[in-house]
Every structure is written in structure tokens, then in C-alpha cells.
Structure 1
Amino acid sequence: MFEAYLTLALVFAVLVLLATTRLPADVILVAALGCLMITGILTPAEALNGFSNPGVMTIAVLYVIAAGLKDTGAIQYIAHGLLGQPRTTRQAQGRLLLPASLLSAFMNNTAVVAMLIPAVQDWSQRIRISSSKLLLPLSYAAIMGGTLTLIGTSTNLVVDGLLQQQKGVALGMFELAWLGVPIVLVGGSFLILFGNRLLPSRQGAVEQLSRAREYEVEVEIAQNSPLIGKTIAEAGLRSLTYTYLAEIERRGKRLPAVDPDTLLEAGDVLFFIGASEGANELRKIHGLQPASEAVQKLNMAHHQRHLVEAVVGPDFPALGKTIRESAFRTRYKAVILSVSRGGSRLQGKLGDIHFNVGDTLLMEAGENFVEQYRFRRDFLLVSLLNNSTPPDFRKAPIALGWLVFLIGVSTTGLLSILEAALIATGGMLLTRCVTASRGRGAIDLSVLLVIAASFALGMAMTKTGAAQILADLILGGAGTTMSPWEVLALVYLMTVIFTEMITNNAAAVLMFPVAMAVADQLGASFMPFAIAVMFAASASFITPLGYQTNLMVYGPGGYKMVDYLRIGLPLSLLTGATAIGLIPLIWSF
């Protein structure tokens, strides 16, 4: 009993840390795994068992397949053909839900939303409908679409892996569709019928383009600059395309609203305000140099430095710290030139600005910065200015062909999903739909670590009897009068609460042994309870933090926390009632 209560205390500590701190989820769960080994609750082989689970490897391989579909433009190819030219918001939402849910059924939800966000933003401008009416439904459709197939979301594969390990049961590719299709139909209908009324009509980042990428950039007149002695007008600094000269700092004094006839002097610091392209424009003017000394300390030639925009993510290690305290240049080998927040540039001394999630940084960095940090969790989005590589649409049919192969051979049972995914990945690499380095970078190691380490907690709960203790609490003792249907609803509700507080995969792994213990105590089949955990862990609609796709549309849609609650709570209740009502009819007690 001591080990059981120690395991429960560790699980409680993990939940609290995940919900209340900025520590990365993989760090917390790997630390918990270490505690289980050190205390002797699990042997090293048992603690590391999650890393050999077929579901974890399948998720890793599917990341590479998703990268191939993205790089070949297969997703845009399908989406553009289905979006069309709707006339009303309701029609637009209906057109969007179909491709988003279908694509999410066969590839990672995060990848689908990441690829469709810019397409939906452009589309919303073209059809003159606010993107805030479309981006949150995009996230919700991707979440619901992930329930259609076994490979639709990592949560499905995690629970399937647990079923294989503990019960010797493997789910089929489309077995979940018996419940997934009704959930997509019910949830999609709700979004189409009530989405226009419940969603805000708010300007997002693209619709505020004149403000969304507005920065203040400082440049200096070099000591031997050919601009010395020229007026501002003669130097061509009054007729720039993307930016304008706001003021000059000369010998420690600010000169606002400078006259075009003002003569430039060596050492003058010029402050320009405008779009990010303006910084690139200034770099091409001979005689101007970055005013920040930190840029010179990058120790790389001018032609090797590039302008980069990056959006600060929730896992950024210096959240809450100032730029000066973060040692940003040392850590990232890049220098921040300006910061934009909420669509507006931040004023004041750059080094005193505190980092917040969603801040857009304009930086000068080496040419490898984008490749190195594009797939890291520090930043939600990293882009190299004026260097957008278009997809190789010629290979889109090949990438789609490998996806069809994966679905076909795994559905017919010729190969397991993992075996089929490995062959499809190899085919994409051989046909150059995705490069090896790109595929390697697309694998989210932090997610894999979270899942594998969560397995250790789940195993400890089963081994020590902690899951049985929680099952007794849920059932209210052996003499409970609750029906299996009521207990199923309670398990579903607990999983939804967990997934809104912590990661969806961790919620699934922690609730799985509890669900199994509840089923054993009731003398009922374990399948309805396993399916309830699987679907509830994916049904995260109430907060932007519960599921990564919800957070991804937060900034582009201009949303607030209350927007998620207003539409997500009724959607969560509706899909939950649908799932609880149908699960026992499909997988009987």
C-alpha cells in the first residue's frame, strides 16, 4: 500500500506541475520516470517499456509521412479544390470542415492545421469573411477528424498500443469510424449552425497586416559612411517603400519629426518604423549598419546574416524574463532587432522587454537558424524573410500514393500499421517527397518522450494497485449502485478534465489503468472504457492550452480565452453525450 500511495502522490505532483508551471511536459514526465526507478517501484526494463511500444514508433514514423505530404503541397492541393467560393459564413464553415476533418483522419492534426492556417487566412480575405469565424472551427474539425481512423491522432495510437500490450487486442484502421463519423457529423453540424453566432468577428494577424508586422529598427551612420554630410532626402531615406524615419538620436539626444533637409552625421542612430520588409530594405543601403552592438558580436560576415521572424511559443525557456536576462544572443546565436506584440511594436529599451507567448521577434541570425529552430518547441513559427520555398507540387501525387498504400495495406491486414508506415516512409524518402534531414527534423521528440514516459506512470499505477484505489473511489466502494453506463460517463468526464489540464496523451495514459480497474471491478468488458478514454482525451475544445491546434489558431484568429469557452463548452458537452450514448451500443459492456 505504501508503494500505491507513493505512486498516487507522484501522479498528483505530475498533474500539478503540468497544470501550473512552465516546465516542459517531457522534463516533468522523464523526472517522474526516474523517481519510479530510483524508488524501486519499477525495474529499469518496466520503466523504459514505453519506448518499445509500437504505438510510439508509429507516431514517430507518421511525423515523417506528414512532412512529405506538406513539402509536396498535397494538403494545399486537396484543400484548394474543396474550399471553393462560398457566399455566406455558414457555407464557408461547411466547406472548411470537410477537408480539415478528412485530412486529419489520415495525418497528424498539428501538421494539417499548420498547413491550412495560411490557406484559410488568404481564403477568408478573398471571400470577405473574418478569419476568426473560420480558424477555430478549423482546429475543432481537425480534432474531431482525428477520431475517424486509428492513425488520425497520436492518442488513438497510444491507447491502441496499451491495449496490445496489456490485453492483446489490436484495433483496426477504421474500427473507430463507427463512433468517429457520428461525432464529426454532430460536432460539425453544431459548428455550422451556431458557429457564426458564437464566434467573434475579430481581426486576426493577416487582416491587420499594416500593424501585425510593425517594428522599430535602429541603424547607425558608420564612421566612413558615404551618407555623412548628405541630407535625409539626398540619402534616399524619405522615399523608402516599407518603412519611414521616425527620429534620430544624436550625441545622446532624440530629434523627433526630423526635417528632410537635416544633415546626417557619423554616429547618428536612425529609428525607422514599418513592416519587417523595411528592415531588409535598410540593410541594402550602403553606409548604414545595425545600431545594436550585439549584431556585430555574432562573429559572422554580413552576407551570412539573415533577417528572421519568429513567434515565441509556450515552451520558450525565457518566458517572463527580459531580453537582457535571457542571454538570447548566446543561446540562439541571433540578435533581436525589434518585438511586436498583439499587432503593435513594443516601445522602450529593447533589453528591458519581457518575453510573452505570442510575441513576434524580428531578428538577425545565421543562415542555419531557420533550419535549426523551425521544428523546435521554443517557437511556434519561424520564417526567413523573402525566402519562402514553394512546395514541389509535381510530387504531390506520389506522396498521396504512398498515403493510399499505407491506408490500403493496413486496412486489409496485409501488414500492421507500423510496418506499412515504415514502408511508406521509405518510399517517400526514395522518391524525394521529403529529405532525410527534413524528415528527421519533423519528428517531435518531446511528444514521443511524454508518451513513452507516461507509460511508466500507467504501469506503476497498475502494478502497485494505485489504479484500483482510484477505481474504488470512482465506484464509491464495492457496494456501488452505479450502472456501467453511469461509470462510463464518469470516466469520460475525468479524462476530459485531465486533457484540458495537461497533455492529451498523458491524460490517456494516466486514465487507461483506472478505466481497466473500473471495468474489472464492474465485471464488464474493458473495451467501452478504453474507447471512452481514447475519445475523451482527444475532445479538447474548452481552452487554447488543452490541444496544440487550439493554441496555434489563437493569435492568427485574434481570439480571447472566453471565445474558446463560449463555443467549446457546448461542443464538448454535445460530443461527450454522443460518445457516451453510442459507445456501449458499438462495444457492449
Structure 2
Amino acid sequence: MNWEQAVLFAIMGGVLALLLWGRWRYDVVAFGGLVLAVVLGVVERKHAFDGFGHPAVIVIALVLIVSRGLMQSGALEGLTRKLAAADLTLGMHILVMGAVGAFLSAFMNNVAALALLMPIDIQAAKRAKRSPALTLMPLSFATILGGMTTMIGTPPNIVVAQFRETALGAPYGMFDFSPVGVGVAVVGIAFIALAGWRLIPAARGRADMPKELGQIESYVMEVLVPASSPAIGRKFRELKKVAEESDVWLLALVRRGRREKRPAGADIRKGDILVIEGGPEGLEQFATALKLDLSKSRKHSALMADSLAMTEVVIPKDSRIVGRSSLDLRLLARRGVVVVGIARQGRRITGRIRQEKIRPGDLLLLMGPENGLEETVQWLGALPVERRTPTVVQRQKAWLAIGLFGLAISLAAVDLVYLPV
């Protein structure tokens, strides 16, 4: 082993150790390793960034972007919602979820497919009153198996295909991996559904999901019924079945600014506002099922941003919104952010959300442009309950996303376009 080889292995070992440590971001660690290799002369300066333009890297990056786009468009929510509501035995649930996960990961990034299905799997576990530990690991294995069935399903397949093109002049096709990959995936998922889940340690199978500090159990939210909603013409009481499937409670019907006293027999109309209560995931699922708007101020330019997000915050006593409502503070006009839910310990909110006076200790669910939401939280003097900010689904773009993705896969499969294109 010469000096350059020793240095290269040392750098790779150091990078691996830092990645396992997890103190710094992966991209920072990787780029730092590249810079160190250039400084020590292991990599020539003129070739330092050649890898960023490699077709394999481009394809992997594009698959990640497309996967994110499909998730954000809501293109797959109809399917996943049915999976969450299905009443299946444990083995059948693992088989169905595993098959769906494998199919999605064949055309998406494995991690993206898993991230999409994990909340659905957890919700189904809650309904069945069993620990999600019994199904999350099988789901993870299923997405890995599904990724092996196509060229874009997993990064190693993409890299191998590009190196084959370099060596032989022609890469692997989109489905050249399928004859072997599909067989392995079918056998693997069948084993997981029939026997594999039984090998999970019993202690983990009995474990309940821990409740995070500050976890919000329930919100009260207003949702607008737009002209495109399938709820129009249906009785208020008929919507309760949809609400139950989403673990949401229908509290009231507001029409022309007034609460209906006896809403059960009322027909839902365009412009009505439904007052609902539930957790953040259930509220979003209910709104998706009936194509409801989380905010009636849809014409505001900030809320038409390409990337909307929601975040949960707690209001301390010195916050600027204490004693005032979101209307008083003109939160939408000033910051492009709207309060879509309020949780108050020991008391159910019965008034209009945007007219409700905020008190210290209230938990708010805020919606607004993703890139400015954190700044708004700081401006309010609020404290984020959780670091995550789940992205709000842009459902009106679902069919467009499905069509474009299907067209791209079809053209690449018949070699009409170069895959990175």
C-alpha cells in the first residue's frame, strides 16, 4: 500500500466515523472529506468536482426531487388513506403495506416511500390497538426489496447502470433488474408477512409509542367548503363517517358568519365553514378526503406559495399575541401566516378560531410559507413544540404530478429520452 492509498483509506475511515457519530450534517462531512483529499493531493484539483456532474449523481438527485414532489402533491393520499382505514389482520396488513411500499420504492427513493407510508402504518396500528414496532421494520424491509426491481429504485442500481455504460457502451434499461428483483421482492415480502414479523423481539412488540413532551392531543380547526368539494349537497351528519375514519370530530357548522343551531340535517353548501377537532394528521387527512381548504383566505399571495407548511407552537405569557386574536394582529396580512388550530388544556374552543383571544399556554397550529414560518414564530415570541414542520399537501396538483411522472418513466423505459433528462 502506497502513501496515497493509505491517506485515502484514512480519509474514508474518518468520514465514516463522523457519519456514525452524527454530530455534523452528512453533506458537510462528505464535502469536508473531499476538500481534505484535494489538499493532501489524493484528488487532483481539476477533477475535484467531476463527480457532481456524473449521470448517476444527477439521476439520484432527480429521483429524490420527484419523490418529494409526489409526496407534496398528495398524488398518493387516496391510496394511503384507504390503507389506514382497512381492518386487516397483522399478517395481511404487513403483506398489503409491504406490497404497496415495494411498488412505490420501485419508482421513488426508498427513504421517500418509507417516509410516506410510516405515518399511515402508525395510524393503522393505533386503530388496531397494537404496537407499531410489529409493522415498521417489515415495512422498511419491503421498501428495500422493492427498490431492487428497477434501475431508479435504489442508488446502487443507478451507479451500476452508469458504469456498465462506461465499460460496454450501453447502460442497463429501466426494467432490466426486474426479472431478478421482482422474484426476490415477492419471496422476501411473503416471508416477512408469514414468518419474519414473528422474529421481532417480544419486548419490542409489546412496547407502546412514547408520547413526546408537549405532544398535542387535539386541535380545533375551521375548514372552508370550496366549490370543488364532494361534501356539497351532503347532510352534515353524513360527514361524521368520514370524520370517524380520520379520528376527527365534527363540532359545528358556520354559515354566513353564524353558527347553525341544528346542523345535523343541514345540507352542506359552498362557502360553509366546518369546525372540527382532532390531531394534526387527522385534520389534514379529513381535509384531503373532502377537498376542504384549511384557510378561507386562499386568495392571499403568501398562501399560494409553492411550499406551505404547518408547525406547532406554545404561547408564553410575554408573546405579542397574548390577549389578541390573529385578526387583531393582522397575522395573515403581515406575515402570510394563518392560525388554523388552537388547543387549550382543560377547555374546548367553541368560538371562531381567528377571533379567539389567545392566552398564555395555548398551543397553536400555524400554516404559512415554509421558508418564512420559523421567522414568524420568532416574531410572535412563541416557542416551537416540535422541530418538525409537516408540509401541507398541494392536492390540486396531484393529477398533474402523476401524469408527468408516468410520462417520464414511460419515455425512459422505451429509451426515447436519456434518463437524466
Amino acid at match of 1:382: T
Residue type matched to 2:402 in 1?
Answer: L
* Amino acid corresponding to residue 397 of structure 1 in structure 2: W
Q: SS of the counterpart of 2:103?
A: helix
- The TM-score, its normalising length taken from structure 2, stands at 0.58
2:48 is equivalent to residue 47 of structure 1: yes
Question: What is the match of residue 382 of structure 1?
Answer: 389
Q: Does 1:285 align with 2:357?
A: yes
Correspondence for 2:109: 108
Secondary structure of the corresponding residue to residue 171 of structure 2:
coil
Match of 2:208 in 1: 203
Alpha-carbon distance in 1 for matches of 2:343, 2:215: 17
- Following superposition, the deviation at residue 282 of structure 1 comes to 13
Q: C-alpha distance in 1, partners of 2:109/2:142?
A: 13
1:268-311 per-residue CA deviation (whole Å, 9 max, x = no partner) reads: xxxxxx99x9xx9999436x5689xxxxxxxxxxxxx97569xx
How far has the Cα of 1:129 moved from its partner? 4.2
Partner deviation per Cα, 1:516-567 (whole Å, 9 max, x = no partner): xxxxxxxxxxxxxxxxxxxxxxxxxxxxxxxxxxxxxxxxxxxxxxxxxxxx
Please, what is the CA RMSD of the aligned residues? 4.1
Match of residue 414, structure 1, among 409, 413, 416:
416
C-alpha displacement of 1:220:
6.1
Q: Is the 8 A contact 1:83 1:92 kept in 2?
A: no
Task: Give the match's secondary structure for 1:400.
Answer: helix
- Count residues with an aligned counterpart: 294
Q: Quick one: distance in 1 between partners of 2:180 and 2:16?
A: 29
What's 1:9 paired with? 10
Residue 396 (structure 1) aligned with residue 385 (structure 2):
no
Aligned equivalents of 2:323 and 2:314: distance in 1? 22
Does the CA-based 8 Å contact 2:122-2:132 persist in structure 1?
Answer: yes
Structure 1 90/306 Cα, relative in aligned 2: closer, same or farther at 3 Å?
Answer: closer
Closer, same or farther: CA 14–211 of 1 in aligned 2, 3 Å: closer
Per-residue CA deviation, residues 159-208 of structure 1 (Å, 9 max, x unaligned), is: 43344446645121111223322331232122112344234133226xx5
Whichever residue aligns with residue 79 of structure 2, its letter is: I
- Distance 1:27-1:168 versus aligned 2 partners, 3 A rule: farther
Contact 1:133 1:195 in 2 (8 A): no
Counterpart Cα distance in 1 of 2:83 and 2:107: 17
| 1:140 counterpart letter in structure 2 | F
Does the aligned pair in 2 maintain the 1:149–1:175 contact within 8 Å?
yes
Kindly provide the CA deviation profile for residues 365-398 of structure 1, in whole angstroms up to 9, marking residues without a partner as x: xxxxxxxxxxxxxx5x314xxxx84541x54333
Bigger CA radius of gyration: 1
How far residue 80 of structure 1 moved from its aligned partner, in angstroms, is 4.2
Q: Distance in 1 between matches of 2:156 and 2:379?
A: 36
Deviation readout 1:442-478 (Å, 9 max, x if unpaired): xxxxxxxxxxxxxxxxxxxxxxxxxxxxxxxxxxxxx
Cα distance change on mapping 1:105 and 1:334 into 2, 3 Å:
farther
Fraction of identical pairs, as percent:
25
Residue matched to 2:67: 66
Q: Indicate if the aligned counterparts of 2:114 and 2:143 stay in contact, CA closer than 8 A.
A: yes
Q: Which residue number corresponds to residue 512 of structure 1?
A: none
Shift of the 221–92 alpha-carbon distance from structure 1 to 2, 3 Å rule, reads closer
* C-alpha distance 161-281 of structure 1, shift in aligned 2 (>3 A): same
Change (3 A) 1:22 1:225: closer
Q: 1:336 to 1:159 in 2, by over 3 A?
A: farther
1:78 aligns with 2:79: yes
Q: What is the distance in 1 between the residues matched to 2:41 and 2:213?
A: 59
Aligned residues of 1:37 and 1:47 also touching (Cα < 8 A): yes
Q: Distance in 2 between matches of 1:124 and 1:20?
A: 32
Aligned CA distance change for structure 1 residues 55 and 397 (closer, same or farther; 3 Å): same
Is this contact kept in 2: 1:84–1:95, CA < 8 A?
Answer: no
Q: Structure 1 CA distance, aligned partners of 2:144 and 2:71?
A: 18
Deviation at 1:56, TM superposition (A): 1.4
Output the CA distance in 2 between the equivalents of 1:90 and 1:70: 27
Match of 1:213 among 204, 213, 216: 216
Change (3 A) 1:220 1:137: same
Output the TM-score relative to the length of structure 1: 0.43
Matches within 5 A, 1:54-453: 54-80=55-81, 85-165=86-166, 168-199=169-200, 200-204=205-209, 212-213=215-216, 218-219=316-317, 242-244=344-346, 284-285=356-357, 288=359, 333=378, 361-362=384-385, 381-383=388-390, 389-392=392-395, 395-419=397-421
Shift of 1:77: 2.5
Whether the aligned pair in 2 keeps the contact of 1:72 and 1:395 (CA below 8 Å) is: yes
Residue 206 of structure 2 aligns to a residue whose secondary structure is coil
On the 8 A contact 1:76/1:116 being kept in 2, the answer is no
Counterparts of 2:8 and 2:319, CA distance in 1 = 64
Q: Which amino acid aligns with 2:417?
A: L
- Note if contact 2:75-2:402 (Cα within 8 Å) is conserved in structure 1: yes
Report deviation, 1:221: 11
More helix by share: 1
CA contact (8 A) 1:82 1:99 kept: no
**Deviations for 1:89-113, whole angstroms, at most 9, x for unmatched residues?**
1111111111111011001222222
Question: How many Å separate the matches in 2 of 1:191 and 1:147?
Answer: 16
- Judged with a 3 Å threshold, the aligned counterparts in structure 2 of structure 1 residues 307 and 95 are, in CA distance, closer, same or farther, namely closer
In 1, distance between residues paired with 2:213 and 2:123? Answer: 15
Shift of 1:6: 2.1
